[in-house]
Amino acid sequence: MSHPPFSPAHARAARLRIGLTPEQVVAAMAQLGVRRAAQAVMSWEAGVVAPSEVELFALADALWCPVPELMALQPRSLREHRLARGFSADRLAQRIGMDGHAYARAESEHRWTGSDRQTLFLADALGLEPADLLGVIGRAGELDDLLRQAVEGRWKQYTTPLARLVGAPERTVAQALRTLHQEYAAFNERYMGHLVARSDTARLKEIATERAEWLRALSDRFLDLVGPGASPSP
């Protein structure tokens, strides 16, 4: 397996912030069962080599900082979310009741195959919000497509598929879709109103830009309306 994402600069800054020498860092890591020479810490901070997953977890503990700080990124993939929570692949697979090989394959192929129950356990273990979970299991694009079709057409027919996708009650989803459909229609009415009134081009472009920005944030807006109870299904 490839080395995890790692920022030498952030690791060095974290060490200096608490005033530890490389020797003291490896001594703290040794107490966690990960024995390395002080040269290893210097090599990581110099960017010569990146730590392994086990080394990354031990280093974060030794430096009293969250793993994501040493990764210096916002977790997006399944593996990145797992690392951010300090899970080894085997431990997470066991936690969610999934075969280790099946989980490893899902991570490497970026294709989630877990059951509904395993997906719920995954979201709980990694602390994933619905939007993040949809991205991790590869269904964010499906949500975007369905919502776009719903607001541009007859939204009622999309209530059931969207309710199943995000794991929310159909009544809640219907209310959210009605609101979104009305908001989208308002953009069109404003645009057509200014078009008929022969407003200047700049005003029409302004409305079109607002609508484009609203569409880009459509999934987030929908999930906010549906509420925290949503839990995407695989």
pLDDT in tens, 170-205: 999 999 999 999 998 888 777 666 555 565 677 677
- Please say if the pLDDT value at position 5 is more than 60: yes
164 in the same domain as 146: yes
- Supply the range of the domain harboring residue 26: 8-71
Into how many domains does the chain fold?
3
CA distances from 112 to 22, 43, 220 (A): 40, 35, 22
CATH code (residue 54): 1.10.260.40
Q: How many residues are given for the chain?
A: 234
184 in the same domain as 118: no
Distance CA 76, CA 128 (A): 10
Distance CA 222, CA 143 (A): 10
92 in the same domain as 152: no
63 in the same domain as 34: yes
Backbone torsions φ then ψ of 227, nearest 5 degrees: 100, 170
pLDDT interval class at 220 (50, 70, 90)? confident
- Please give the average per-residue pLDDT across 1-20, as a whole number: 93
> Which residue, among 130, 208, 213, 141, has the nearest Cα to 172 in the 3D structure?
130
Residue 223 identity (one-letter amino acid): L
Query: Would you say residue 1 lies in a domain?
Result: no
Query: Would you say residue 135 lies in a domain?
Result: no
92 in the same domain as 36: no
Query: Would you say residue 2 lies in a domain?
Result: no
- Please say if the pLDDT value at position 231 is more than 70: no
- Please give the average per-residue pLDDT across 119-127, as a whole number: 90
145 in the same domain as 222: yes
Query: Would you say residue 234 lies in a domain?
Result: no
Query: Would you say residue 231 lies in a domain?
Result: no
Query: Would you say residue 133 lies in a domain?
Result: no
